[in-house]
Each structure stands twice: as C-alpha cells, then as structure tokens.
Structure 1
Amino acid sequence: MLEMAKIIVYETREEIPVMYNPTELSLNKTVLVQGEGAHIQFQRVNSDDLTVSLFFDTYERQLDVRSKTNRIVALTVPSVGTNERKEPPVLIFTWSGPLFTGIIVKLDQKFTMFLSSGIPVRAELTVTFKAVLTEQEELSSRGYFNCRQLWQVKQGDRLDLIAQATLGDPTLWRLIAVSNGIGEPLNFPQTKDIGRALVIPDIHVGAGAANA
C-alpha cells in the first residue's frame, strides 16, 4: 500500500493527509561557523526552511476543493500556546517517518479548475515550513552533547555549587548564568528550572584561543 505524506499537529496529534504525495523534497542543513582559516569555530547546525508543493483535486466528486485545503490553511492561524502567547501550531511533516518539525510561515494557494457554478475543484498549495526545535534539539544543533558538559537542575541546586562541581571554582557561577540566559541568578532555581539542562561553558576554549 502506498504510504501517504501527512501533516501532524504536534500538540493535538491531529493528522492531515495530503491527497497526492510530493514529487520531490529538499531537506537541507546549514552549518554556521565563525572565523576563518585555521581559526574556524563551529557554532550550530540550522535546518533550512522546507517548501513542499501539494496538489488537491476533487473534480470527480464535484466537491469544493477548499474542504481539503482549508485544513492546511487553518494551520497558519495563531492560537494561544502553553506560554500564553499567540503562536501558530507546531507541525510535523511525515512521510514514512518524521521528516521535519516546524511552523508554516508562508502558504500560497492557487485554484486551477472550477465547476460552472464557480466552485473550485483543483488547487495547488505551496507550503513553507520553518524549523522549530525542542530544548534538547536546540542543544544538539549547537553540538553541546558532543563537546560540552550538561547539568540537569534539581531541587536545592545553586549556581555556585554547580560551578564548583563542574568547573572546580564556585566563583565561575556567573559564566554559567550568562551562558544559559539566567536573568535572576539569586532566585535560581525556580520551579520552571527543575529538570532543565544547563550548558556548562568550556573555560579552556578561551585559554586555548589566547595561547594560539
């Protein structure tokens, strides 16, 4: 049986199948670096936008093709997310397995056939997705799992104690705070921080660069 591509709404797990599979897909990665020559330093890996062309045809059934396409159009409408901000839903484009996770940032809809009544029965959608990463995926894209220490925050942790345990110097707590965007270090950890993975900066990188 032919496997059909689908768009899955991450939060609700709603599945929206396409009518016809795309004829091609381009999944690209961009490696961001800083510096030149012998001093190039890796920063992160970005997933480029994914653009897919989807074809819908309801002519044989004499139905309004918008009954199919409107489900995808609706995915561009922001709703209130878990952080109380209005934002479009996070989606998973899957075809024999997940291929891309992101939000729709552009949608072009073109109707190419109509009934005598003016009802559209054929449409082409060009959908552009921008990647959205989970916290773990964000850390992975920066290579933190490969080259830096991580510390999972637990109840009773303090930044100076974490600095002592990981860097051997409690006075380096400010480096950890800055590296992880902790705006209120004296109130750390808050409830939202429990279970969070902190990135421990590599204090030897700066020393190595200075000696180069």
Structure 2
Amino acid sequence: MGLNPFFPSEKDYRATNSERAFIKNEDTGDTFTVMFNPTEYSYKLSADDSSKDTELDVLTVSDGKVSSEKDSVDLPFHVTAISDLSIDLFYHAYESSVDIRADIQDIQDLTLPSESSGSIRRRPECSFNWGEFYYLGYITEADAKYTMFSSEGKPLRAELGVTFQAIIPEADKNKYFGYEGCRKTWTVKGSDRLDLIANEIYQDAKMWLFIAKENGIDNPIKFPTPNDIGRQLILPDLPT
C-alpha cells in the first residue's frame, strides 16, 4: 500500500510540521499532535447583560481589589463569555505501525479528572493550538468513530470529535469580566506620589497629570498633605 492518499507526502498524521495542530495538557506539559484541516470553524464571544433593572451590583476597583455596591443602573454588564469549541480531528495510519486507538485514547483520557486538591477533583486544563489560534479549556467530550480497517481488523482511519469548555486565562480575566472598565480608586498613603501611582496603574509615570486634574489637586509637588492621607482618588480612563 502506498503513502497516505489524503496526504501523499506524509506517512501518517503525526508528521511534524509547524502548521500542524496539537492539544496540550497545560497541567503536565504533554502535547498530542493531531490532524485538523477544517473548511470552517466558529469562535464566538457573547456579552452577558441583564435586562434593565434597578439596585444592582456596580463594580469598583480600589487599590487593585474589586468590590461591589448596590446602585441604580441600566443594562449592567456581567461578563463576556467564550463559547464551547467543537472540532473534528482526523487520524490516518496507512503505512506506519501506529495504533491510532492508543493515540485517540490519550485524548479521551483528558476528559477524566486527574488533578485533585483534597476532595476537589477536576479535569486537566488543555489548550488547542493551530497556527496562531489558541483556545484554553476543559475537554468535555471526545467521540471517536473508526471508519476504515485493515484485513486484520486494525483501524486505519478514524474521526474524533472533541468539545472544549472554555477557561478564561488569569491574564485575561480583567478584560472578559469588565474590570478594566470599572470605576477605579486609590486610597492615599503617606508614601504615595502621583507619578508613582500613575506608573503602577498606567505603566506611565507621566500620566500623573490626568490623576491630578480628575481629583482637583492644584499642587502635586506637595501631595500628599496630611489631609490627603486616607483619601480616595478617582483614577480616570485615559483618553484614546
């Protein structure tokens, strides 16, 4: 039998290629090369807004900590959700001795709880990587369908449908939960300076001018005065 008729330059789906897709167990670092050659795929973000109401939680970020208080608002934002990702993977082993059942089982095992802390068990965090596309989540389904066999009954071709449930990476939570758009405040301490506050919040010390203007600080050189200690500064959004 000749080379794989679907990919004639390759002997099996595990041939290395910088464009090849792979699934990575982020907890262990193990990677699993897969064949992913879609005609299309979808990736949806959806904003969760509640209906118009009164007396709802409004978020405030003070000194980097998020708190909430009741206030009357219209159409408050809760979170931007990432939809589940469903992909179809393909396995071919025409000439090699690869047992595709073993490789498929490796992916299916990622649906099993393998991480625990006391009585808490969870599945491993996994990422799907394809070129520049990256998706982090838990694998909730891995449905295998074997479609071709050798005369000895060995599977030669299979399809594997994999569904990921999204995990929002820690570094992106501020963006997806809307914390970056919250009203931000800073509690003044005796060691504070406006340029140091600006550098920590905006990563640019020169932005102290916007803080001074927002809070009516006429003499930033003398800040903070004894009367400023404990004061809540409003940290404005910078102009775009």
The bucket for the TM-score relative to the shorter chain is 0.5 to 0.7
C-alpha RMSD over aligned residues: 2.8
CA contact (8 A) 1:111 1:124 kept: yes
Q: What does 1:61-210 correspond to in 2, within 5 Å? A: 61=96, 63-81=98-116, 85-149=120-184
Give the secondary-structure state (helix, strand or coil) at the position aligned to 1:26: coil
1:30 matched to 2:46? The reply is yes
Query: Mind listing any 5+ residue stretches in structure 1 that lack a counterpart?
Result: 152-163, 169-212
Amino acid at match of 1:18: V
1:8 paired residue number:
24
* Percent of pairs with identical residues: 33
Give the Cα separation in 1 of the matches to 2:185 and 2:31.
Answer: 35
CA contact (8 A) 2:26 2:127 kept: yes
CA contact (8 A) 2:136 2:169 kept: no
Distance of aligned partners of 1:146 and 1:77 in 2 relative to their CA distance in 1, 3 Å threshold = same
Give the Cα separation in 2 of the matches to 1:113 and 1:30.
Answer: 39
Give the Cα separation in 1 of the matches to 2:231 and 2:28.
Answer: 39
Amino acid at match of 2:46: T
Give the secondary-structure state (helix, strand or coil) at the position aligned to 1:81: strand
Give the secondary-structure state (helix, strand or coil) at the position aligned to 1:67: helix
Aligned-pair distance for 1:22? 3.4
Give the Cα separation in 2 of the matches to 1:76 and 1:36.
Answer: 39
Give the secondary-structure state (helix, strand or coil) at the position aligned to 2:147: strand
Query: Mind listing any 5+ residue stretches in structure 2 that lack a counterpart?
Result: 1-16, 54-72, 187-228, 234-240
CA contact (8 A) 1:62 1:121 kept: no
CA contact (8 A) 1:4 1:21 kept: no
Aligned-pair distance for 1:10? 1.0
Give the Cα separation in 2 of the matches to 1:25 and 1:3.
Answer: 16
Amino acid at match of 2:153: G
Give the Cα separation in 2 of the matches to 1:150 and 1:7.
Answer: 41
| Deviation by residue 1:145-179 (Cα, 9 ceiling, x = unmatched) | 2224388xxxxxxxxxxxx95869xxxxxxxxxxx
Give the secondary-structure state (helix, strand or coil) at the position aligned to 1:39: coil
Aligned-pair distance for 1:137? 3.0
State the TM-score, normalizing by the size of structure 1.
Answer: 0.64
Amino acid at match of 2:146: F
Distance of aligned partners of 1:84 and 1:13 in 2 relative to their CA distance in 1, 3 Å threshold = farther
1:42 matched to 2:58? The reply is no
State the TM-score, normalizing by the size of structure 2.
Answer: 0.57
CA contact (8 A) 1:20 1:56 kept: no
Aligned-pair distance for 1:64? 2.6
Distance of aligned partners of 1:166 and 1:27 in 2 relative to their CA distance in 1, 3 Å threshold = farther
Larger Rg computed on CA atoms: 2
Give the secondary-structure state (helix, strand or coil) at the position aligned to 2:49: strand
Give the secondary-structure state (helix, strand or coil) at the position aligned to 2:173: helix
Aligned-pair distance for 1:86? 1.8
Amino acid at match of 2:102: S
